[in-house]
Amino acid sequence: MRKLVYISILGCLVALATASCSRDKKPEEYRGSVLEDLPFVYKMTVQQGNIITEEMVDRLELGMNKRQVQFLLGTPLLTDFFRTDRWDYTYTIQRGHDPMEIRYLTLYFQDESLARIEGDIRPNPARAEARAPQEMVVTVPDYQERKGLIKRGLETIGLEPKD
């Protein structure tokens, strides 16, 4: 009889211990320290995912194959193993104490060609035309050989032939 009472008491204690460990409500945001919210505490910028610009998205055209899209945007962050016709590009950045910015771009393929584009940034032909190609002129200075200390010393002695 005593064993039955001890087992039932032990069972109740285990049930209370496991019930007290669980929470009904989880915190919305993980907090490492109370000092994080102070304005003079440095928080570094954290970027994750694929950086996708409007210029890159404007180059997308329906009917492109997967290799062409991958050349423009890079490897997608998420690819579904069971649905290979969907590519997800996700980009997040949090600058210091500012709230996190999240950008999405989802591409759908049909028969290995781009069929549909969804997300925060969409291709805009007017924006692409407004961005006129710019000529880039690069001036390269004439080459001047920089001689080292030993070579200059040998030239002054007369042991190294002058060019």
pLDDT band at residue 154 using 50, 70 and 90 as cut-offs: confident
The rounded distance, in Å, linking the Cα atoms of 135 and 131 is 12
Give the per-residue pLDDT at 19: 58
Residue 49 lies in a domain: yes
CB atoms within 10 A of CB 58: 20
Nearest one of 126, 132, 122 to 57, comparing CA atoms: 122
Three-state DSSP class for residue 98: coil
Element (H, E) at 48: strand 46-49
Burial, 52: exposed, middle or buried (Cβ in 10 Å; 0-12, 13-18, 19+)? Answer: buried
In a domain, 18, yes or no: no
Please report the pLDDT score of residue 87 as a whole number.
92
Domain-located, residue 59: yes
* Count of domains forming the chain: 1
Say how far apart CA 82 and CA 110 lie, in whole Å. Answer: 14
- Give 3-state DSSP helix, strand, coil % of the chain, rounded to 5: 30, 20, 50
pLDDT for the residue 51 = 86
Please determine, for residue 6, whether its predicted confidence score (pLDDT) is greater than 70: no
Q: Is residue 142 part of a domain?
A: no
Does residue 55 lie in a domain region?
yes
Residue 24 reports pLDDT greater than 60: no
What band does 121 get if pLDDT is binned at 50, 70 and 90? Answer: confident
* 38 inside domain: yes
Within-domain flag for 80: yes
CATH number where 63 lies:
3.30.1450
Instruction: Please identify which residue in the block is written with the tokens 């290979």.
Output: 84
Looking at per-residue pLDDT, the higher value among 163 and 87 belongs to 87
pTM of the model: 0.56
Q: What is the predicted pLDDT for the residue at 22? A: 52
Query: What's the domain range around 57?
Result: 34-130
Whole-number pLDDT of residue 29: 59
What is the pLDDT averaged over residues 15-22?
A: 59
Provide the 3-class DSSP secondary structure of residue 55: helix
- Return d(Cα 44, Cα 80) in angstroms, integer: 32
Write out the DSSP string of 120-152.
Answer: SS---HHHHHHS---------PPP-----HHHH
In a domain, 50, yes or no: yes
